């Protein structure tokens, strides 16, 4: 369900690694409020994420603030809901087809809560932001406050955020970058989430730029 017409570039200037000209085009996948998406939008606008543009936002829900944020920024939005498809493969095929049309240089899962089967041609082009220090506190069902509750229950004294390559297992792909922060006495899931989100706001843009500059080895 497209909320705006597709605007894929056809001039061949895709801005990928290797010195080719043009912007580095990213697709952002969301399932909720879109605070991470908004951080990327703001940094692109003010020049802190140079040479990067968002070519499409894919949301797994139509009724979330992230869709409104994307539309307010004038970005193409495709809503692709799991419940509109008979099985995971059909849902995954729809996501993949949309990415094939827009042909981004990088796909960024930013609060994306749906499992999609990544075909071989997209492996090494999809990253995920996770609110913990993988491989700890990852896997199916580990998202949002569930992660921070698990960190506190385990008594860990340190937590953080991870950007990793996506494969076809939950939170399993190779780690690209991490940022760390202490778990403090008296922390709650809310206070811990705030501290980790502050790390995420810096970690994800920094990682995108490193990938754009060819400083990160692509996963296979």
Q: Inform me whether the pLDDT recorded for 73 exceeds 90.
A: yes
Sketch the domain layout of the chain as residue ranges.
1-122, 130-162+169-214
Q: Which of 3-7, 27-31, 159-163 has the lowest mean pLDDT?
A: 3-7
As a whole number, mean pLDDT of residues 144-164 equals 97
4-to-54, 55, 219 alpha-carbon distances in Å? 14, 11, 32
3 by DSSP, 3-state: which? coil
- CATH number corresponding to 1-122: 3.40.50.170
Q: How far apart are CA 167 and CA 164, in angstroms?
A: 9
Percentage of the chain modeled with pLDDT above 70: 90
Q: Look up the CATH architecture of domain 130-162+169-214.
A: 3-Layer(aba) Sandwich (3.40)
Q: How far apart are CA 95 and CA 60, in angstroms?
A: 10
DSSP 137-196: T-STT--THHHHHHHHHHT-SEEEEEEEE--SSTT-SPEEEEEEEEPPTT--HHHHHHHH
Q: pLDDT tens-digit profile of 108-136?
A: 999 999 999 999 999 999 999 999 999 99
Q: How far apart are CA 207 and CA 87, in angstroms?
A: 33
The single residue of 94, 130, 148, 164 carrying the catalytic annotation is 130
Structure-token pair, residue 49: 């994420």
Helix (H) or strand (E) holding 107: strand 106-109
127 by DSSP, 3-state: which? strand
Q: Which of 56-60, 122-126, 169-173 has the lowest mean pLDDT?
A: 169-173
- Identify the DSSP state of 121: G
Label residue 150 by pLDDT band (50, 70, 90): very high
Task: Judge whether 1-122 and 130-162+169-214 match in fold.
Answer: yes
CB 158 within 8 A of CB 179: no
As a whole number, mean pLDDT of residues 157-164 equals 98
Q: Which of 97-101, 197-201, 214-218 has the lowest mean pLDDT?
A: 214-218
Q: Inform me whether the pLDDT recorded for 171 exceeds 50.
A: yes
Q: Inform me whether the pLDDT recorded for 7 exceeds 50.
A: no
148 is catalytic: no
């Amino acid at each position: 369900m497209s909320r705006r017409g597709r605007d894929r570039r056809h001039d061949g200037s895709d801005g990928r690694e290797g010195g080719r000209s043009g912007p580095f085009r990213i697709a952002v996948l969301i399932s909720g409020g879109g605070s991470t998406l908004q951080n990327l939008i703001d940094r692109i606008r003010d020049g802190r994420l140079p040479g990067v543009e968002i070519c499409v936002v894919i949301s797994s829900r139509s009724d979330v603030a992230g869709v409104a944020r994307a539309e307010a920024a004038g970005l193409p939005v495709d809503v692709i809901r799991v419940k509109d498809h008979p099985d995971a493969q059909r849902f995954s095929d729809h996501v993949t087809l949309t990415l094939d049309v827009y042909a981004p240089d990088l796909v960024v899962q930013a609060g994306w809560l749906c499992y999609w089967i990544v075909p071989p041609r997209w492996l090494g082009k999809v990253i995920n932001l996770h609110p913990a220090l993988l491989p700890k506190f990852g896997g199916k069902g580990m998202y949002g406050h569930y992660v921070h509750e698990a960190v506190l229950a385990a008594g860990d004294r340190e937590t953080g955020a991870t950007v990793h390559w996506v494969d076809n297992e939950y939170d399993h792909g190779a780690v690209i970058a991490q940022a760390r922060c202490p778990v403090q006495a008296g922390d709650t899931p809310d206070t811990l989430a705030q501290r980790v989100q502050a790390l995420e706001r810096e970690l994800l843009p920094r990682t995108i730029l490193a990938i754009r500059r060819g400083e990160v080895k692509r996963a296979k």
